[in-house]
Structure 1
């Protein structure tokens, strides 16, 4: 997923699309409304370690300052 220098909604939409396309192929409407919802879904869907690659991470962190701590919470 590539974060954009925009607003939080755009980055949620981008991450939601990436996760939906990977885990729920064929579902055309993104099903997530929040970063927390996306991370919770990954936690419940995946029974193994996963790599969440976010290009331009600083843009995501800028639009959502709590992002880094949420990711850390889900890693632990």
Structure 2
């Protein structure tokens, strides 16, 4: 077997957005998680809405614009 073929396997920390820190072993020093077992709805039994980038708000704004444009087109069509 070749020497120094595999990466170094070391202790590492998994850090979640909720603040939970999990100690494990990995080839990386630390990893950042968006959700873990301490805050995941399946494990906590509570429903939690995760929207980190405001995607839902952006979608709702686009949807409102589209519906307004459709309503304006429909009223314009009725007038003709």
Largest Rg, 1 or 2? 2
* Fold match by TM threshold 0.5: no
More strand by share: 2
The structure showing larger relative contact order (alpha-carbon pairs under 8 Å, at least 6 residues apart) is 1
More helix by share: 1
Tell me the TM-score normalized by structure 2.
0.23
